[in-house]
């Protein structure tokens, strides 16, 4: 695991985008991106979007797979991850929407939808670079503490802390869904390269546990210590407990 400590949050996004862009150029037009929601990767996406707008990066033939989706939000809900990914990734990076996929949080047959998602990732050739944030409790995707380290895409119950953290996106805390579909830790570990970004003091405990703690399901992100090509890019505040 490579850890890069940046002087500011702005530099985190810039360096992480440079790393992702390098993979895109190395792999070529059909690169497969793993994309995350949350505020952490927004600056990374902005830098990638600037490179696309400047003609330095062409992602029009790229595919993207999101990590997770809430269960039960109506289609088109502005806080569904389908909407968030469309707004923050697909449109600014000029991806082809037909090649951007998320788990189906409204599937009638959840296990079948999860198996389909795994098959779609495999059919695309696997993820070349997975972008990740981290939850304050060490979750990646929506793999909450206690998740199997080899898990695959499945339904999960959101931890109360995660629901509270995400309540800011909804009109009231009760509106935060209780369940989600998420790629598993095994799915994430199968990506050929992983770039995790974190900024701010609220992530300092999680980053310390991910980077230096024991590898344990109690801190799902710690499994990345076993990844052959994982880079953690953080600002000084998020690095404060390393
Ligand atoms: C969310 C997402 C994660 C994200 C995390 C941190 O619940 N499911 O993919 O990494 O929480 O979010 P943020 O970057 O806004 O702190």
Fold adopted by 2-235: Rossmann fold (3.40.50)
Instruction: Report the nearest atom of ligand 1 relative to the CA of 141.
Output: 9
Q: State pLDDT tens for residues 207-218.
A: 999 999 999 999
**What residue spans define the domains of the chain?**
2-235
Angle at alpha carbon of residue 115, lines to 121 and 105, rounded to 5°: 90
On the question of pLDDT at 36 being above 90, the answer is yes
Ligand 1 pocket: which residues have CB below 6 Å? 36-40, 67-68, 133-135, 141-142, 162, 166
First to last CA, the chain: 14
What letters, b where the CB count within 10 A reaches 16 and e where it falls short, cover 191-210?
A: bbbbbbbbbbeebbbbbbbb
Query: Whole-prediction pTM value?
Result: 0.97
- Residue 105: its pLDDT value, please? 97
On the question of pLDDT at 161 being above 90, the answer is no
ipTM here: 0.95
CA distance linking residue 156 with residue 220, whole number of Å? 13
In this structure, the residue with its CA closest to atom 6 of ligand 1 is 135
- Residue 199: its pLDDT value, please? 98
Q: State pLDDT tens for residues 92-138.
A: 999 999 999 999 999 999 999 999 999 999 999 999 999 999 999 99
Per-residue tokens: 189 = 């570990």
In this structure, the residue with its CA closest to atom 12 of ligand 1 is 38
């Amino acid at each position: 695991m490579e850890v890069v400590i940046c002087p500011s949050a702005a530099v985190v996004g810039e360096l992480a985008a440079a790393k992702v862009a390098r993979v895109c150029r190395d792999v070529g037009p059909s690169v497969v991106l793993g994309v995350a929601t949350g505020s952490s990767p927004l600056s990374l996406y902005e830098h990638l979007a600037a490179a696309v707008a400047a003609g330095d990066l062409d992602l029009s033939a790229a595919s993207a797979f999101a990590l997770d989706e809430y269960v039960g939000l109506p289609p088109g809900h502005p806080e569904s991850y389908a909407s968030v990914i469309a707004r923050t990734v697909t449109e600014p990076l000029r991806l082809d929407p037909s090649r951007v996929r998320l788990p189906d949080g409204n599937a009638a047959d959840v296990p079948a939808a999860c198996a389909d998602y795994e098959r779609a990732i495999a059919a695309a050739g696997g993820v070349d670079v997975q972008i990740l944030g981290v939850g304050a409790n060490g979750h990646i995707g929506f793999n909450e503490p206690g998740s199997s380290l080899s898990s695959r895409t499945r339904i999960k119950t959101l931890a109360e802390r995660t629901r509270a953290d995400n309540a800011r996106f909804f009109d009231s805390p009760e509106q935060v869904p209780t369940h989600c579909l998420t790629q598993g830790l095994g799915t994430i570990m199968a990506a050929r390269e992983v770039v995790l970004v974190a900024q701010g003091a609220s992530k300092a405990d999680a980053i310390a546990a991910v980077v230096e703690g024991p590898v344990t399901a109690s801190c799902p992100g710690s499994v990345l210590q076993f990844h052959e090509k994982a880079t953690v890019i953080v600002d000084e505040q998020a690095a404060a407990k390393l």
